[in-house]
Structure 1
């Protein structure tokens, strides 16, 4: 099965992440629907409270570490001495050998366009402007079609509940790590945390997301050193501007036979005939852009 290629993928049968709620349908008949849960998670760095995020609650340790990395609060040379999660008070404490102090950084928060109140800090662009993405990396168009097919047929919480986003770390035509959450920024942070804690590098990797290609998604992808970002959904103008500035390959509206490249087109190798590709499965076409109901 395709999903066996994953190092980690959604557990659509995890009953902690959703609940069955009764209602009525358009014909007035009683029905029952699977509805995603969301809960607060408070993240500490050593003794300092950093943020409370709304999340579905799976992989809180990865989310905490990835969030701190993508906010430039954890650095590449920081030694993580512990990651402690307390489910009773919904808190994760990330401990480092180096003591940290972020009063000034915490004053410069910017709310982003992401779901569930994404937040970045005012100096997040400092690292973004120093990253150099590998211009020699190539992306075959056959890989785009293969990734879309594999990811969109993987059992997921989205297919069970809707109202959720997914991000997938990929290598060539292979999806490796698939994370979901109420906000695309949480999903990408979980992947960043997994990569850091498992020593998985960004070389030769790409990202696939179900959500919009916003400035925040571009910034996080670039900061993680990943040169390619693909989405089923559309773009924001600032997201495109930042992608072009960083040399990020930015591909949106990737559905069925079609996709649109607005940055980094030099990395593409056109080795597949779009006419020979299958149309999008009906269960996704009915919902529109996968994840749109969560935007």
Structure 2
């Protein structure tokens, strides 16, 4: 009911940088005083309701509102594993998405405990989002081969995307072994994560054999969401925060950052890494990805 048609190639779902609703061309002036045209991503509000209760208004590029809504609710502990979603309604004119469940819900007290996160686009979580974090058991036998990691970073960094087209956006990718499965982008990394979480929920996708890749920083929020999704390995092309590392070690999450070309650093869970490939045999990062990586939001 919820799945989208598979795409040719390695991805089941990926960005469409040519979608006119996601970016637009804007005239500007460059350092030489010349008129230039540049692409900029869109940003619009999306108000989320769970049944009859307003939950939050998010700033988003506007694609996959159903996935974003379900993933947000799941990652905020507002959807239980046994909750049955009976309907998802999206009103494009009002920028409103409503998720309806069989079970009656009331999160009035929970909604009072908001915490502003370090994410872009004013990320918000609720104060008890850590409920259950200490009880999550990540798959101890999950493996990340370095050959998979080098292959994934090359494929992801050369995939046509808004990140390469316009910058100022975050990308997150759900992977399995050396195959990227679902690639989501948004102005805030938390939105991109939640879209993937929503896709996993609606398609009943297991998490224990998956790898999560992000272009953004490895913050506490990213670690918490990855752990709560049950994914044992988190990889980023960017750096770490101290609390993110501490939480990853606490949860037994494999945390790899600064993964660019032949290089990476693991600050947690290195026992899951199988060093099966000489870094000297890996490809350098594409020049276009390097340039965008220095300009895009981190």
TM-score (norm 1): 0.97
Aligned equivalents of 2:88, 2:206: Cα separation in 1 = 20
Q: Within 2, Cα distance between the matches of 1:173 and 1:4?
A: 13
2:273 to 265, 268, 273: 268
**Aligned counterpart, 1:110:** 115
CA distance in 1, matches of 2:10, 2:280: 27
CA offsets per residue over residues 31-63 of structure 1, 9 Å max, x none? 101110000000000000000000000000100
Tell me, in whole angstroms, the C-alpha distance in 1 between the residues paired with 2:183 and 2:296: 19
- The CA distance in 1 between the partners of 2:92 and 2:59, in whole Å, is 14
Name the stretch that deviates more: 191-200 or 38-47: 191-200
Displacement of 1:3 in angstroms is: 7.1
Partner of 2:3: none
Do the aligned partners of 1:116 and 1:183 also contact (CA within 8 Å) in 2?
A: yes
Aligned residues between the structures: 292
Deviating 4+ runs (over 4 angstroms): none
Q: CA RMSD in A?
A: 1.2
Which of 174, 181, 185 lines up with 1:180 in the alignment?
A: 185
SS of residue matched to 1:15: coil
* 1:128 corresponding residue in structure 2: 133
Indicate which of 211, 217, 221 corresponds to 1:216: 221
Separation in structure 2 between the aligned mates of residue 3 and residue 254 of structure 1, nearest angstrom: 26
From 76, 92, 95, the counterpart of 1:90 = 95
Could you list the per-position Cα deviations for residues 101-147 of structure 1 after superposition, in whole angstroms to 9, with x for gaps in the alignment? Answer: 11111111111101111111111111211110011111101111000
Moved more, 195-204 or 16-25: 195-204
Q: CA deviation at 1:271?
A: 0.4
Which residue pairs with 2:106 in the alignment? 101
Q: Distance in 2 between matches of 1:198 and 1:142?
A: 28
Please, which runs of 5 or more residues in structure 2 have no aligned partner? 1-6
In structure 2, the CA distance between the partners of 1:163 and 1:20, relative to structure 1 (3 Å rule), is same
Q: Is the 8 A contact 1:3 1:154 kept in 2?
A: no
Matches within 5 A, 1:37-48: 37-48=42-53
Is residue 196 from structure 1 mapped to residue 201 from structure 2 by the alignment? yes
Structure 1's unaligned 5+ residue stretches are none
- Is the partner of 1:294 in helix, strand or coil? coil
